[in-house]
Amino acid sequence: MENNIQKLKGFTIRALKCYIKALELGDGVRVSQRSFRYELSADGTTARIIRTADGSEVEGTNRSIEDWAKVGKPARLGLIGLKAKKRDLREQGARVMFELNVITGVAGLTRDGETITQLPTAGGEGVEDAPTTIEGWAELGRSVEKPLFEQLKAAREWSLPEAEKKVWDEMVELGIVREKGETDSSTQA
């Protein structure tokens, strides 16, 4: 039960951070000015976003953690997919950025300011349409996350510390896991 509550809280925090980023982008701000922050209720059952300047609540953001977690789970997987493809494209020398907007549900990559509509297939021998939604990127994120967990498990079972570290570092880079000892602030994004 405790593990499930921690997962809900984690997905909630991911959703809140993504929502704040979407609000900032909507205001034309690419680098956070900390105009918004999130708060979890004392009993941990609800969360909301407030404006830092005056402490007012952003309309429509006072929700249960279950509702926020429904936004956060696909957002987390979508970010994993976006980061993985961004890394792959950057290795080819392109300047790549990603967008994930939990308010609109839109997600995607841009190269030198242009939306990327085609991605190389896993084998690199062809191309496929790039997802345009968080759900589409979440599917890609799942296909990245699962094999990495399997590789980590195998490295641990076979007592291969170098392989374990390599897989762990990749998982941290993609946002699948957090670095050991890394914590999240429960009151501010």
Torsion sign across C-alpha atoms 111, 117, 122, 127 = negative
Give pLDDT tens digits along the chain (189 positions).
Answer: 678 888 999 999 999 999 999 999 998 888 888 999 999 999 999 999 999 999 999 999 999 999 999 999 999 999 999 999 999 888 878 789 999 999 999 999 999 889 999 998 777 788 999 999 999 999 999 999 999 999 999 999 999 999 999 999 999 999 999 887 655 544 443
Question: What's the pLDDT at 183?
Answer: 54
pTM over 0.85: yes
Q: Where are the domains of the chain?
A: 2-174
Question: What's the pLDDT at 182?
Answer: 58
Question: What's the pLDDT at 187?
Answer: 41
Please report, as a single letter, which amino acid is at residue 58.
Answer: V
**91 SS3 class:** coil
Q: Which of 88, 92, 33, 44 is nearest to 68 (CA)?
A: 44
Query: Following DSSP, what letter does each residue of 21-37 receive, concatenated?
Result: HHHHHHTT-SS----EE
| CB-CB contact of 111 with 89 (8 Å) | yes
Question: Residue 28 is encoded by which pair of tokens?
Answer: 């034309």
Q: How far apart are CA 41 and CA 92, in angstroms?
A: 45
